[in-house]
Every structure is written in C-alpha cells, then in structure tokens.
A = this chain, B = another copy of it.
C-alpha cells in the first residue's frame, strides 16, 4: 500500500484511530493484590469503574503518557512501569476507534491520598479477586496484567517495586504468596531469594513490632533498564 504523505503537521489522507494508554497499577494492600480504578464521570460507561488512562499527545511517548495520565487522574507515583500489550479490536470503544497501549505499573502501598481526578468521579483501590464489572475491555486488560505479574515473579525482580526501599524477608515472602496465591516454605524461600543476589542486608533491623526484630534488606542496584524487562 502507499504511504500517507505528510503535508504540514496534519495528514488526513487516511482515517486514523485515536491512540490512548491505560494503566493497570497494582499494589499490595490489606494482604491482597489490588488495582487502582477510577469511576468514569463521562459517557460511555458513565458511573462504571475503569482503568486510569487517556489520549496520547503528539510530543510524548506512550510511557510518558501513561505516567502523566496517572498523575492527572489519581496523583499516584509509580515505582515500576512497563508496556503490557496493545489492545486494538475494532469496536472496543463504542464511540469510535481507540487503540489502547496498556501498561503495567507497580507501587508500594502507602496511604495514598487519592487525588480527585479531573474527569473521574472517584478513584479507589480494589482487590483484584473481587472486581466490579469494568468499562470497555478493561477486565481483559487487568486479567492479562495479573498473568504477567505472576509469570514474572520467578525470573525477575518484579516483587521489589511493591515494597518500600527497606523491607524484611517476611514482607517479601508475603508479596510472593499473595501474587502466586500459594503458601511458601519460609526456609526454602529465604535460601532461594538470597541466592539470586537481587537483595542485600542493610545492617539495620526493624523495630516497634510486637515480635522479634527482623533484618532489613534493600534491592541491589542494577543500573541498566531494558525493553520490557
């Protein structure tokens, strides 16, 4: 096929889909894997819960767009972001064609005071295993993100962005158990996780808890970031 030629900045030779990003932001909250959703304030799906996201601007990359939309709609900062998948079914948006570049993000739990968003009526965390019906194809997107998260647990450092900078092995094990949905033997977990050399002792110990203090660990600095992780 022939290429649409650029004439000035716009190029209307061919119709184009709109391009948006959506973000599946996970955290671990109250012992459950949770995802951040916004209540839509506009049609379509007004009043439904949906993923945060919005339209791509011409001067930003998809990743930048995802970060900007998250900030605008929820005020949350993330500790990890990667592209998940692009959803491009012709009729996934009932209004007109919108291609969504879905992203996958993580943040450690803290009592995020969720900002009232511009065009969102509300923003809240939901337990991933107890989600309401979502707008558009957002249930599919969340499902794929959960798969990806579980799959990456065992060959990456993906659990670390869900914890604060310093954490105990007990807390890390909880993250693994919650995401995989299976109990893990404490001694085996500690042996294996330390053998990977992704975390190191800080020398400090936790205090203030009603039990024996635990060694605090941190992620070892890795340096480079690559496509997809």
Residues of A that sit less than 8 Å from B by CB:
1-4, 6, 9-12, 14-19, 42, 54-62, 69, 72, 83, 85-86, 88-90, 95-97, 99, 101, 118-119, 140, 144, 147, 227-228
Residues from chain B with a CB closer than 8 A to the CB of A101 are: 86, 88, 99
Instruction: Specify how many copies of this chain sit in the oligomer.
Output: 2
Residues from chain B with a CB closer than 8 A to the CB of A62 are: 86, 88, 99
> In the assembly, what is the distance between CA of A56 and CA of B18, in Å?
12
Q: Are A144 and B227 in contact (CB under 8 A)?
A: yes
Apart from A16-B56, A17-B19, A17-B58: 12 A-B pairs, beta carbons within 8 A: A1-B69, A3-B54, A4-B18, A11-B96, A16-B19, A56-B88, A58-B90, A59-B90, A86-B101, A88-B101, A144-B227, A144-B228
Q: Which of B3, B6, B19, B72 has a CB less than 8 Å from the CB of A55?
A: B3
> In the assembly, what is the distance between CA of A95 and CA of B19, in Å?
19
Q: Are B55 and A99 in contact (CB under 8 A)?
A: no
